Amino acid sequence: MGSCGQPLALCGTISLIILVSLLCCTDSKSTARPSLCQYHASSGDCSFYHCLDVKLSCLRHTFEHRLAHRFCHRMHAHFDEFTAEKKHWADRTNKCVMRQLSKETASMDACRDVSSLVRQAFHTCAAKEDICTALWENRQPLLDIMTEKSWLSIVQAAKHCPRHVVNRFIFWTLEKLNV
């Protein structure tokens, strides 16, 4: 008798079947990975973007993905620069972007153009969390987070804000960037 309680030949066959099924038939996106990725998204952990890299291997090569990943890390790095009441805005916006991307990419199993998803997620989330009230008082950390190349994303997210708020931010930014 083998260690499996069956004749030795049968134990070897059972072990081989289990091994083959584990090697051949286990989905590389195991059930543990999506829940871990969802945890990263809901907690605002920047490791979420690594999950997207694993799932959608082409994503890491897009400017928008680098922007989203950098946005997350910079949001954490500049978090203390936000006014006390807008720290909640920063945290909720960061988490919202991840949740939105998680939902939008959940059914994707291959590389597709997700650049518009990344931009749209930021625009939607920043607006939903009321960027209008965060914009002026937190202009410096927002500019530091978004960088010179992508600061227009802030303006796009703020397109529904009162015109004077957006104009004030635009002129300040242009002056700051020496444009």
Of 82, 40, 48, the residue nearest 68 (C-alpha): 48
Q: Residue 158's pLDDT is what?
A: 94
Q: Residue 124's pLDDT is what?
A: 93
**Which whole number is the average pLDDT over 156-179?**
92
Q: Residue 150's pLDDT is what?
A: 77
The neighbour count for residue 67, using CB atoms within 10 Å, is 20
CA angle 34, 39, 40 (to 5 degrees): 100
Q: Residue 15's pLDDT is what?
A: 39
Q: Residue 107's pLDDT is what?
A: 73
Q: Which residue has the higher pLDDT, 40 or 172?
A: 172
Answer whether residue 86 shows pLDDT above 60: yes
Task: Calculate the CA 92 to chain-centre distance.
Answer: 12
Answer whether residue 137 shows pLDDT above 70: yes
**Residues above pLDDT 70, as percent of the chain:** 69
For 70-85, the pLDDT digits (tens) are 778 888 999 999 998 8
Largest CA distance in the chain: 83
Per-residue DSSP letter, 27:
-
Task: Work out the mean pLDDT of the chain and round it to a whole number.
Answer: 76
**Which whole number is the average pLDDT over 10-14?**
43
Q: Which residue has the higher pLDDT, 130 or 62?
A: 130
Answer whether residue 139 shows pLDDT above 90: yes
Assign 152 a pLDDT band (cuts: 50, 70, 90): confident
Residue with tokens 């600061």: 151
CA angle 98, 174, 157 (to 5 degrees): 30
CB 159 within 8 A of CB 140: no
Answer whether residue 115 shows pLDDT above 80: no
Residue with tokens 């010179």: 148
**Which whole number is the average pLDDT over 168-178?**
91
